[in-house]
Structure 1
Amino acid sequence: MPTPVRQSPVIHGHDGIPSKVPWCAVIVYIGVTFTGISAVALAWSRSGDMNNEADALLFGGLGMCTPTLGLLIAATVTGEIRRPGRLLASTGISRPASWTRLARFLAIALLLPFALLAATLAIATSAGTYRFHEPFPAGPLVSELITNTVTFVPLLVLVFGEEWGWGYLLTRLLPLGLLRGILLSGLIWGLFHAPLTLQGYLYLDLPGPVGAALFTLGSILLGCVMAWIRIASSSLWPAVILHGSSNLLVNPIPAVVGAAVDPRATAFHTSIPGSWPSWIALSTVIAVLVVTGRFRALSPHPEIRPSGKSCESRRGPATGSASGTSR
């Protein structure tokens, strides 16, 4: 009996997921995205302050739009842009099969960062690197949460700009295998921030290369969780909410309720995913997902169709190709 071909663990229930990695699209996407964020970082360093909140909103917001720019240009080069329905479906933007199921994942995405922060601050406090204010500032915390909630929805537009692009990259790397696709997309996502972290963004007291390496590690861990919720929910929106909740609702809280023992190392001790305690919290979540079979449940789908044409196929039909087969 012939040995069955082992199919690549790609996500099921989606139209337009490629049966093999469209390297042309991936290279164009990475080139455009990294060029864009590098240009933003250069402008920010020359005409702004890396640690100013207003500048962070302006330049950070521009930087968060570069993954979507990379998506649009890559989709134009490969011809995917001519089939917008399939392009949207392959990036998780389509009518959900179950609104109730989607709502459940949205709730998880919204609340999980709060649980991660609680664990992060507990670990940092136990290690003696963070201290809560006494008495506990309940009033200021409520005020901060109300303010952040008001700005949460409009600022999700910027988060969407980043997540739509990364959702595009993730699905195009999945033919490498579930684990390799998730880890590689997380690595690229972390390196995407390097033009900023190399200049001291977040890590004021560390050399740029060290800060870039630390944030890349955190991005890989958070990327695993975000990839799981993106794939398991069959929708981009939970990933957008999780990212937005982490950045906009949760990360401002540590500065309100306490302070790092070393103020210049605040991000290294309290931020998600930039702090070492958050890496422990994220690793715990990933371990739970693995042990409970949540990643294993993202089973292969035997009827994956290519999402678009390769750069070569735009010039004519490829010979010897077998559309609709898995690797």
Structure 2
Amino acid sequence: MPRPDVNRFAELEVFVRVVEQAGFSAAARAAGVSASAVSKLVARLEARLGTRLVHRTTRRFQLTAEGQAFYERALTILADLEEAERAAGAGERPAGRVRVNSSASYLSHVLAPVLPAFLARYPGIDLDLVQTDQVVDLLSDRTDIAIRAGPMPSSGLMARRLGATRMTIVAAPAWIDRHGLPQTLADIEGLSRLGFSYARATSGWPLRKGDGEVTVLPSVGQVRINDGEGLRQLALAGIGPARLAAFTVRGDIAAGRLAPLLEALNPGDEEAFHAVFIGRSAGLPARARVLLDFLAEHGQVT
């Protein structure tokens, strides 16, 4: 049993700061104390728990498996304390800043349209939106919720499904006027196509071929870009055809700005979307949990 004079919550706060700052010195600077004081506090914590939480080397900082599990539980405990204090002093109204990492496509076509309703419901919440298609490290980036497309790899992250959308190949009428309307695999294989400049789960375009399926690989001279919304803009400009999520181009197709290509060869595959976060949703601070619940209801892609 811990001594009565041990401030266990202070220990948790320091340990969490050490993890988030990826080192004792950085955590000490952020807390305004000496690095030796932080190191001794973590050492006392490890001695009381009877296990090593951190691998200490001169070149890198790394949690042990026990340290990672303890860190996740510490986040939950501190979040519960923060929520209890806020509930006591502010009538249980969630408040504070939530950092969200989202692709440009999801932000433009799904998140932005529903944000006014969310902010009206929770006026005490501030949002810090980071727009990128790249996968970020939630811990080092201090991200509360990240919106990710594609299959979820095995990891320590938790996820809330936000629906799935069909993939479709589209091109602008101006491009079709110049190159004609592709009808077969051979037609599309000989044309320059737009694509992404970073690795994705599917590197090419899957298309039907007889009773099976083939993948059309990127072409030589292809224009590439690092986000889906930019890819849509290139397609709208008539630079080339692109394979995009249906929810991002549905309005363009209806307005005649883009036209679907090779629909007879479309295998009908879908791309799933998830809101991912560290730890259990019950352990999230109230400010992040209400956004997660709101997205699950109003932020679905189709």
TM bracket, shorter-chain basis: under 0.3
Larger-Rg structure: 2
The higher relative CO (CA closer than 8 Å, separation ≥ 6) is in 1
More helix by share: 1
The TM-score with structure 2 as length reference comes to: 0.22
